């Protein structure tokens, strides 16, 4: 699976707290191993992010990504639940 990161995602990740960055790396490794691992709570989104999916990084932090093709994932955004789903 090929993964790329949107410019917006990279900026948001750089601004996130250190604990979130550490948790993100752990969850990203889990994601690469098993996209639907129960800890990730990978689920489809609606509304503004219709066509995208999300997984949990911490209790409140989420990653929004899009399956561009069968073997290509684009990470679009990372933030707290309130930041992403206003």
pLDDT per position as a tens digit, 25-76:
999 999 999 999 999 999 999 999 999 999 999 999 999 999 999 999 999 9
Between CA 12 and CA 16 the distance in angstroms is: 6
> Does position 6 have pLDDT exceeding 90, yes or no?
yes
User: Residue ranges per domain, the chain?
Assistant: 2-84
The rounded Cα 58 to chain-centroid distance in angstroms is 11
| Measured CA angle at 73 (ends 37, 54), to 5 deg | 50
Asked whether 8 and 73 are in contact (CB, 8 A), the reply is: no
Fold of 2-84: YaeB-like fold (3.30.2310)
Which pairs with CB-CB distance under 8 Å and at least 24 residues apart come from 46-51? 47/85, 48/85, 49/76, 49/84, 49/85
């Amino acid at each position: 699976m090929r993964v790329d990161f949107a410019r917006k995602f990279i900026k948001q990740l750089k601004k996130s707290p250190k604990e979130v960055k550490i948790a993100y790396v752990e969850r990203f490794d889990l994601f690469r191993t098993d996209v639907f691992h129960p800890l990730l709570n990978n689920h489809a989104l609606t509304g503004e992010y219709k066509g995208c999916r999300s997984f949990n990084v911490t209790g409140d932090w989420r990653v929004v990504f899009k399956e561009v093709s069968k073997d290509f994932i684009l990470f679009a955004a990372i933030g707290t639940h309130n930041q992403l789903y206003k």
